[in-house]
Amino acid sequence: MVKKIIIANWKMSPQSHKMAEDIVKNILFGIKKIKSKPEIVLCPPYVWLTDFSHKIKQVKWGAQDVFWESSGAYTGEISAGMLKSSGVTHIIVGHSERRGSLGETDDMINKKIRAALKAGLKTVLCVGERSRSEPDFYNFIKDELFADLAGVSGRLAKNLLIAYEPLWAIGTGDTPEPDDIFEMATYIRRNIFDILGKKAAYEIPVLYGGSVDAKNAAGFLRAKGVNGLLVGGASLVPNEFVGIVRASHGI
C-alpha cells in the first residue's frame, strides 16, 4: 500500500503566533494515536513557518511559495536554499490564488519549480481548470503542465508532486465526482509521460484539492490514481484536519 500524503495549506492564516501554536499543538495531539499515518505536511505563513520547522519534527513543513533566484537584491523574497536550511521539505508552487490574484505567470512558476527541485525540495505544482463547462478544460490543464514543467529533467522530477485543484471547487463546497478525479489524474499522468517520461508518469504523486473536509476526504482518497490531498480551510480546524488524516487510514 502506497503511503498517502496530506498537505495543509494555511494560506494567510491564522492572525497570531499564539493561534498558530494552538493549531499545531492540537493537530499533533490528535494524530498521536493514529496508526499508519500518512505523510503530513503543514504549510503555515512564512512568519510562523521557520519557528515550527526548526523544533517540531513529528510532521513535515512546507512553504506556500518560493523565489527562483538563490540570492540577490530581491526585496521580500525567500530562496529555496533558505527554506531548506530552515528544515522546510516541501514547496507549493502555482496555486490558483497566486496565478489569479497576484498575476503569477507560467514562466514565473516554471522558474520557481526548477529552483525548488534543484534545491532538493519536494515541489507541489498546482493545476486546475476554471470551469468544467468550458469545452477545452482538458487542454487548459495540458497547457499548464507543459509550460510549468518546461526544462525540468527526469532526474529532478523524483521530487515533483502534482496537485489537481479545480478552481470552481476551491472554497465553494462543490466537488467533482471520484470518477472525474480519476479521469483527470489519468490525463495528468499521460501528459507527464509526454513531458518527463514513463518513470515519472508512474511515480509522481497526484493529489486532489478543493473543498476537502473530514466528511469527503475518504471518498477523494479512494479515487483511483489519487495519492493524497491538498487541504485549505479545513486544515486550520484541528479536529477537522485530524479527521482528514484519520480518513486516510487503511486506504
Cell numbers given for 95: 496555486
169-170-174-175 Cα dihedral, nearest 10 degrees: 60
Whole-angstrom Cα distance, residue 25 to residue 55?
A: 13
Whole-angstrom Cα distance, residue 51 to residue 129?
A: 35
165 is catalytic: yes
190-89-244-144 Cα dihedral, nearest 10 degrees: -30
State how far Cα 114 lies from the chain centre. Answer: 16
CB-based contact 142:191 (threshold 8 Å): yes
CB-based contact 83:44 (threshold 8 Å): no
- Binding site for substrate, residues? 9-11, 171, 211, 232-233
249 is catalytic: no
CB atoms within 10 A of CB 160: 23
Which amino acid belongs to residue 176? Answer: P
Cell numbers given for 215: 466528511
Q: Considering 39, 97, 104, 165, which one is annotated as catalytic?
A: 165
Q: Considering 90, 95, 104, 240, which one is annotated as catalytic?
A: 95
Element spanning 46, H or E: helix 46-55
Whole-angstrom Cα distance, residue 114 to residue 242?
A: 32
- Binding site, residues? 9-11, 171, 211, 232-233
Residue numbers annotated as active site: 95, 165
